[in-house]
Amino acid sequence: MEEQLDYSNIITPPDFVDENKFTVLIIDAESNDIQNLGLFLKNSDNYFNIYLYHSEMGDEDWFANARNRADAFIINTKKNTFSTIKDILAELPNAYYYGKKKFLKNKNSIKSPVDFFINYNSELK
């Protein structure tokens, strides 16, 4: 088994990382969500590949590649031009979402991206 490196990767276009870590794609996170996540990761005993994508980036090829690498999705449901794609992803069983919108087929609602990682860490203990 490949050795786990002691840090998380936060990745944005145009980059990719091929380290064997649990991989999460976060879509349309607000800047305070990212700051809080950074503080959490600094003190976490678990390490992740975290791809960050915002609808305004407009790099659909990168997004598709990051989506294919992801073990889980975290989606801010705020309405924008990317909402149709976000709604489709939010219905997946490995998707977690936050914001005002709710989904009948997916009950994985969280308060913020950090909540996902807190729950993930507690499940590993």
61 found inside a domain: no
Tens-place pLDDT, residues 5-15: 689 999 999 99
What is the distance between the alpha carbons of residues 57 and 55, in angstroms, rounded to a whole number?
A: 5
Tell me what the pLDDT averaged over the chain comes to. 92
32 found inside a domain: yes
Give the mean pLDDT of 25-49.
95
Structure tokens given for 102: 């709710």
3 found inside a domain: no
Q: Is the pLDDT of residue 123 over 70?
A: no
Our count of domains for the chain comes to 1
Nearest to 25 by CA among 78, 35, 16: 16
Give the mean pLDDT of 64-85.
96
Q: Quote the pLDDT of residue 124.
A: 58
96 found inside a domain: yes
What CATH number did the domain enclosing 38 receive?
Answer: 3.40.50
Nearest to 67 by CA among 75, 79, 56, 78: 75
Peptide bond just before 14 cis, omega within 30 deg: yes
39 found inside a domain: yes
